[in-house]
Amino acid sequence: KNVLGEIIYKGHPSWALMLNIQTGIRNAVGKSMGTDGAPNNKTPQQYHTLRKPSEFRNQKDFYASPKTLRFDSAGSAMTNAHSTGPFKFKDYCPNAFRYLRYLFGIDTADFMVSLCNTLKNGENALRELPTPGKSGSLFFFSHDMKFIIKTIPKDEARLLRDILPEYLEHIEANPNSLLPRFFGLYRVKPHSGRQVRFVVMGNLFPTKKKIHERYDLKGSVVGREASVEERKSESVTFKDIDFRNRKHKIYLGPTKKQSFVDQIKKDCKLLQKLNIMDYSLLIGIHYPHREEQPSPSLLRSTLEDSSDCEQSPSIEPRNKENGRSKREKHYSMDNETYISAFQQDEGGIKSQGGDSEEHYFLGIIDILMLYSLRKKVEHTYKTIRFGTKQEISSVEPEEYSERFQEFLSTIVE
Ligand code: ATP
Ligand code: CA
Ligand code: CA
């Protein structure tokens, strides 16, 4: 199957969900821009004229969710409306997420266009990732590869809202953070059928270059190996044991290696404090010198897309006025945009040292698992080992974080 995922055509099982997501975002996010949803009469700078959370006298306003939007039917944006039936849509903490998008350099108008601008022939439709994780979450990509939508269960959505203030503060203080870039949290509730909560994040592989290998690393060895079945897929995600067998490191050069180790430490410190575990470092590797026959659909989208897809997608000019404080010294030469140190090469980072040229794309994923929310089964033996529940939650995320850091420090050079 295509590594880029399957286009959600009309009649696809996720078709109605996709239309509801797009209609919901177009309206909800459009509203928060103070326009009728048409991103036409404001410059990116104007969208970015946002107050910082600290400038809000009432923090509650910043993290509050507005009323649920009601839609009679979706699909009106398609020339021929394909009704999906009535549904409700909720935009959680829109001010906080709008501010986060600003911090990440994501223009709100572009955000909407990437996610919602499905053409009549379905060309710019979202794509669904064929092999999602064991959790049952669905993953959708925007056609331009910039964004990922992940459906998440209620407790993960709750957790994201709970950690939002601390996460936001961390992102403000750490422009090179490797934590997931969260751009929005929403809920679709069809009149009949199950409600779906989903988060919009940055795609770690925002490129049309072929990702030849991908690794999901946790620092554990137990069961951390891609299965025979998984290896059959072109888009297999290898794990810790596979990485060790690979016998090569991630070559960042001494300076970037140190910033990587330092940043992982800071990011883990926050996760540990929030009692979070089970996260991974996702790494994608592109080998520039490998000859490739692009798959037909890959070729098609690459050729037809005349926009600058090879560029790092998350870079938009920022309003200097608003970009004060800690971030400023990290700004790149034009003093307008900031790009994370780990995304400066077309959304990733090129190798330094090592035998051959490699292009890495990396970041931490899957951080919405609270230790106390893990499956009961996993608790049992640890309960015996550590005694009370209270002890477990303080000890386990710490162990996890230490093991994670320890392993990652051994794989970079
Ligand atoms: P589980 O809980 O079983 O690990 P999950 O449903 O929570 O699974 P994740 O671990 O978040 O899923 O991600 C599953 C896969 O989706 C990853 O291995 C990766 O291939 C892809 N993926 C997830 N997040 C991103 C991202 N931000 N950018 C690119 N790919 C991603
Ligand atoms: Ca995972
Ligand atoms: Ca998960």
Give the number of whichever ligand sits closest to the CA of residue 150.
1
Ion ligand 2 neighbours, Cβ < 5 Å: 366
Q: Is the complex ipTM higher than 0.95?
A: yes
Helix (H) or strand (E) holding 163: helix 154-173
**CA R_g for the chain:** 21
Q: Report which ligand 1 atom has the smallest distance to the Cα of 205.
A: 29
Rounded Cα distance, 98 and 104, in Å: 10
Rounded Cα distance, 315 and 52, in Å: 20
Give the number of whichever ligand sits closest to the CA of residue 132.
1
Pocket-forming residues, ligand 1, beta carbon under 6 Å: 132-135, 137, 139, 148, 180, 201, 203-205, 214, 216, 237, 282, 365-366
Place of tokens 């050729």: 303
3-class SS of residue 150: strand
User: For the chain, how are helix, strand and coil distributed in percent, rounded to 5?
Assistant: 40, 15, 45
Contact 362, 348 (CB under 8 A): yes
> What strands, in cross-sheet order, belong to the sheet with 349-350?
237-238, 213-217, 280-286, 359-365, 349-350
Closest C-alpha to ligand 1, atom 12: 133
The Å distance, Cα 186 to ligand 3 centre, comes to 18
Residue 47 confidence (pLDDT): 45
Closest C-alpha to ligand 1, atom 21: 132
Closest C-alpha to ligand 1, atom 16: 132
- Give the pLDDT of the chain (413 residues) as one tens digit per residue: 456 677 887 778 888 888 889 989 988 887 766 543 334 444 444 444 555 666 665 677 788 888 899 988 655 554 344 567 889 999 999 989 988 998 998 888 889 989 987 666 656 678 888 765 667 889 999 988 999 999 999 999 999 999 999 999 999 999 999 999 999 999 999 988 889 999 999 999 999 899 999 999 999 888 889 988 888 888 899 999 999 998 899 999 999 999 999 999 999 999 999 999 999 999 999 999 886 655 545 444 444 443 433 343 333 333 433 433 444 444 443 334 578 999 999 999 999 998 889 999 999 999 998 887 765 444 444 444 444 444 444 458 999 999 999 999 999 99
Residues known to be catalytic: 150, 278
3-class SS of residue 358: coil
**pTM > 0.90: yes or no:** no
The Å distance, Cα 236 to ligand 1 centre, comes to 12
Q: What length is written for the chain?
A: 413
The Å distance, Cα 155 to ligand 2 centre, comes to 16
Give the number of whichever ligand sits closest to the CA of residue 136.
1
265-278 residues labelled b (16+ CB within 10 A) or e (exposed):
eebbebbbebbbbb
Q: Report which ligand 1 atom has the smallest distance to the Cα of 180.
A: 27
Residue 78 confidence (pLDDT): 45
Q: Computed from CA positions of residues 13, 69, 39, 318, in that sequence, does the dihedral angle turn out positive or negative?
A: negative
Amino acid at 253: G
Closest C-alpha to ligand 1, atom 5: 133
Cβ contacts of 413 within 8 Å, gap of 6 or more: 249, 250, 251, 252, 257, 353, 354
* Alpha helices (H) in 248-344, listed in sequence order: 253-273, 296-304
The Å distance, Cα 135 to ligand 2 centre, comes to 8
Cβ contacts of 75 within 8 Å, gap of 6 or more: 19, 23, 81, 82, 83, 84
CA distances, 11 to each of 123, 142, 198 (Å): 15, 19, 21
Ion ligand 3 neighbours, Cβ < 5 Å: 135, 366
The Å distance, Cα 204 to ligand 1 centre, comes to 10
Contact 224, 280 (CB under 8 A): no
